[in-house]
Structure formats: structure tokens, C-alpha cells
């Protein structure tokens, strides 16, 4: 789903500016530290920039309520993506079709939203590295690597998730860069109720 296209160079510039704003050199975070951070992340609100596989750009606000729930609200129209109740629904304001739905378990994003994140599980982590400023971890569902993977980028002191890159089962990459994340915010369960949102959408 694309809300509004821009030149790919703007996407590259956005990513470069984000990296330039990161703090100075830090030690590589361990898998235990990252798992612990994700497990204590109960609710969060953040602005985001999304770089799609075709080079187009989207911005908006996302809401996380672990386990199993996330909501992306895209700026510019009423398009959104909601995960809740084990499902993902994509609401495209430019489409005349009903929202597209599929199981959350079939998306790599489910790894962040699991009730108990344990990156030490055999076969889950396929990459773990540091560039001296950030720590990157690439993870997949060990039972279903065919679903794709997610590469998460973290800063340290304090530990914070800064961006992720989802590679789907077709090899397409979607990058989400977070900004101004606030944790511990109050978010209603209604925001992740796909059925209720579908009723509102149809009306």
C-alpha cells in the first residue's frame, strides 16, 4: 500500500539524516539485552517514516501495545494498518476493496510483538552486528523462515529501537524509521479492534 509517492532520493536522505542524528560510539548490545528491552516495552507511540520496496515514502504515527498489537496511521488520508487479535488488516483509503487481512504470525513483525521475546532461540537470529553506534539484529520465525525476516536497529544508553527493515517472503523490503518514541503511554484496546474499525470503515 502506498499513500503518496516521492523520489527515492528523499528516502535515502531521510535514512541518512536519521543515522547522522544517532549518538556516538556504543558497545554492541547482547541478545539478552535486546530481548529484555522488547519484553518491557508494553506500550509506545512514535512518529515514523516508511520507505517502501518501490522507493516511495510514507509518514505517520504508530501505536504499539504488546503483546500482539500495533497500529500504523498514515498521514495524508485515512489509510492504516492494524494488528490485533492475531490478524493484520490493511485499510487502503484509495481502494474500493475491503481491507486486506492475513494472520499476524505470517509476518516478521510478529517477532517484536510476541508476549515473550527470546532471541536466543535456536535458528531465530541470523545476523547480529554493530557499527560502533548501533546494534543490528536480524531475526526470523525458526519454524517458518519462508515468512521472511526483520532486521531491527537499536541504540544504547538507553536501549531504544530506532528502526526496522522487514523482508517479506518475496524478497521485498520495507523500512520503518522511528522518531520521538514515547513509551508507557495509555492506548485504548479499541485502537486495535479490527472488526470495529471495519464497521466504521464501511460506514
* In the chain, domain spans: 8-202
CB 26 within 8 A of CB 163: no
Task: Report pLDDT for 20.
Answer: 45
Task: Report pLDDT for 3.
Answer: 35
Q: Which of 59, 133, 143 is nearest to 106 (CA)?
A: 143
12: pLDDT strictly greater than 60 = no
Candidate from 12-26, 108-122, 149-163 with smallest mean pLDDT: 12-26
| Domain with residues 8-202, CATH architecture | Clam (2.50)
pTM for this entry: 0.84
131: Cβ contacts below 8 Å, ≥ 6 apart:
none
Give the cell for residue 97.
476493496
98: Cβ contacts below 8 Å, ≥ 6 apart:
198
Amino acid at each position: 500500500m502506498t499513500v503518496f509517492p516521492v523520489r527515492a532520493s528523499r528516502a535515502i536522505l531521510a535514512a541518512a539524516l536519521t543515522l547522522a542524528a544517532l549518538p556516538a560510539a556504543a558497545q554492541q548490545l547482547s541478545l539478552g539485552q535486546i530481548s529484555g528491552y522488547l519484553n518491557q516495552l508494553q506500550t509506545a507511540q512514535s512518529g515514523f517514516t516508511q520507505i517502501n520496496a518501490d522507493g516511495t515514502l510514507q509518514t505517520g504515527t504508530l501505536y504499539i501495545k504488546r503483546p500482539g498489537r500495533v497500529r500504523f496511521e498514515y498521514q495524508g488520508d485515512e489509510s492504516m494498518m492494524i494488528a490485533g487479535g492475531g490478524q493484520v488488516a490493511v485499510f487502503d483509503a484509495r481502494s474500493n476493496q475491503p481491507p486486506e487481512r492475513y494472520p499476524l504470525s505470517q509476518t516478521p513483525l510478529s517477532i517484536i510483538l510476541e508476549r515473550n521475546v527470546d532471541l536466543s532461540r535456536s535458528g531465530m537470529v541470523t545476523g547480529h552486528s554493530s557499527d560502533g553506534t548501533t546494534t543490528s539484529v536480524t531475526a526470523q520465525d525458526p519454524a517458518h523462515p519462508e515468512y521472511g525476516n526483520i532486521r531491527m536497529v537499536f541504540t544504547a544508553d538507553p536501549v531504544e529501537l530506532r528502526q526496522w527493515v522487514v523482508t517479506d517472503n518475496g524478497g521485498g523490503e520495507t523500512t520503518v524509521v522511528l522518531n520521538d518514541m514515547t513509551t508507557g503511554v495509555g492506548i485504548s484496546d479499541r485502537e486495535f479492534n479490527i472488526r470495529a474499525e471495519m464497521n466504521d470503515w464501511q460506514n
